[in-house]
Chain A
């Protein structure tokens, strides 16, 4: 019988657990506890419970505060950076200094004392960091709670302010829900919305924007990088068109800020939405760029203490803002390095997978951000593939992974058949991705896809040469 960890004292079995070296000055050489049992078999039954009880004493001193954390981090590869990113340690350090009594906890709106002044100084420093990444005037940056709020403020704010000029808005079918749902709401308020189709690569053709502009068009809202397929829109060309036609141009840059160069002094963009948590900053903070020349005016969503020049009321969350500022400063510093690594990751994955049968890239590789790579594995359903790739955190356009049970509207808008939308997986790499993680993923994906195809009736039919489109499905 395995008596490991057990020893006998005064006829009773005890558990003895050695303390790791680095904790011995705090906890001693070992930890002991009696099982209370004289019978070895009974002692063995409760041994494991006592071991975990003793091990819990290591936790306050150890980096692993949760028992599962080590296995979670070591085994699970995170390929969902387009969804959110972990906060960079350098950002966390800066944020910590804005919370306690010793730190800059003050209200940046307090003009009468040093606590307020200190917070204000940090908020303005962060505003400069953000504006330097985008090459704009710091006064053109307004803090919000995130890109969703920025989109709401930009679109509703402009639509409502300029509605006497016209009530027509142009957007596309593949925008983020934070834009599409705002447009749906405006439709209820008697605005008219044109939803442009992307081309088969996922790009909104600037010409299509030009054609859609009418006498009563007040706003064009399009995203910079698409969150599902990584495709980049030509916001320079579209901006030239909107400026020529005296139409406001809003760009959702949640996925692009800090990842690809944006120079607002050269672009005819009037409003731009940003988020911190997509670029290694904290969740719950974002910004909206509002052009000063020509001046864009917005009707506010919130009313209150007049912060942010009355455009966005509410006490400024200093720690969040400082976090966003630092995240944007770091992004500015290492954008090229980050980008080069992402390019390598994507080509490693693609070179490893491209010879597979019936694999499709969603969106054109030549015109997309390498941190987002969307592939469809025909005849394999996306959610089952995610389950098979259990140690890789990815997302899918499959209906089964969405609350609405609808396959990705983005992929459908590209003209992809529903079955390819169901079969799509988005791999999204980031700053903390390791080369080995990408290399290991190649074989895991190949194996999982071939395992799932072996049990797929569609693959069987395809192999038999049956045209699936000609079958009448029940």
Chain B
């Protein structure tokens, strides 16, 4: 496991202080749940499952991600990628967030080639969560 210091740090921060690292969930019945989009990607049999939730607020006519939470089952770099993703999401409009590419995560965490799929999973999670948020809006 030749992980970069950044992966190790992100992983350990997440483990030692999950609340601060935005580990958690919003569930049906929570106040504001209607403003939350949820995306789940991966499969237990593959060894990676990422669950991302984004909470959006309408600011000046744009949907802005004001908060996000995640839970991840997977290897160290999958957990670090999820944590990194949260840092990149908050404060962005959903249009901006959809433009985040897995390569940005790869670059920041210096992920080894064999772990690039972890960053792809993170990118997919954003799209799923935003799609879910949009479909809920349409149903309102």
Interface residues of A (CB under 8 A from B): 379-381, 383-384, 386-388, 398-401, 405, 407, 417-419, 422, 448, 451-452, 454-460, 468, 473-474
Contact = CB atoms under 8 A, between A and B. Distances in A.
A399 B23 CA distance: 24
A402 to B, nearest CB: 10
Nearest to A400: B75
A383 B50 contact: no
A418 B76 contact: no
Question: Which of A383, A384, A405, A448 is the most central at the interface, judged by chain B CB atoms within 10 Å of its CB?
Answer: A384
B119 interface: no
Given A405-B114, A457-B49, A458-B49, A473 B72 contact: no
A443 to B, nearest CB: 15
Contact of A474 (B16, B41, B78): B41
B35 interface: no
15 contacts: A381-B47, A381-B48, A383-B1, A384-B78, A387-B1, A387-B76, A399-B47, A400-B47, A400-B74, A419-B44, A419-B45, A422-B47, A455-B14, A459-B73, A474-B128
A159 B88 CA distance: 60
Contacts of B25: 460
Nearest to A401: B1
B56 interface: no
B55 interface: no
Contacts, number: 90
Main secondary structure of the interface of A (DSSP, over half): helix
B44 A473 contact: yes
Contacts of B71: 455-457, 460
Interface string B118-140: 00000010001000000000000
Contact residues on B (Cβ < 8 Å of other chain), bracket: 20 to 34
B79 interface: yes
Contact of A379 (B42, B46, B73): B73
Given A422-B45, A473-B49, 13 more contacts: A381-B74, A381-B78, A383-B75, A384-B79, A399-B46, A400-B74, A454-B23, A455-B15, A455-B18, A456-B71, A457-B71, A458-B73, A459-B73
Contacts of A418: 44-47
What 8 pairs across the A-B complex have the smallest Cβ distances? A473-B43, A400-B75, A418-B45, A457-B51, A419-B44, A383-B75, A457-B71, A387-B76
Interface string B17-40: 010000101000000000000001
Interface of B: 1, 3, 8, 11, 14-16, 18, 23, 25, 40-51, 71-76, 78-79, 114, 124, 128
Nearest to A399: B47
A386 B77 CA distance: 12
Contact of B44 (A383, A401, A451, A468): A468
Contacts of B14: 455
Nearest to B25: A460
A388 B14 CA distance: 11
Contacts of A468: 44
Nearest to B44: A419
B114 A456 contact: no
Contacts of A448: 15
Question: Which of B8, B44, B49, B79 is the most central at the interface, judged by chain A CB atoms within 10 Å of its CB?
Answer: B44
Contacts of B128: 474
Contacts of B124: 474
A418 B114 CA distance: 20
A181 to B, nearest CB: 22
Given A383-B76, A400-B75, A458 B44 contact: yes
A474 B47 contact: no
A455 B15 CA distance: 8
Question: Which of B1, B25, B45 is the most central at the interface, judged by chain A CB atoms within 10 Å of its CB?
Answer: B45
A303 to B, nearest CB: 39
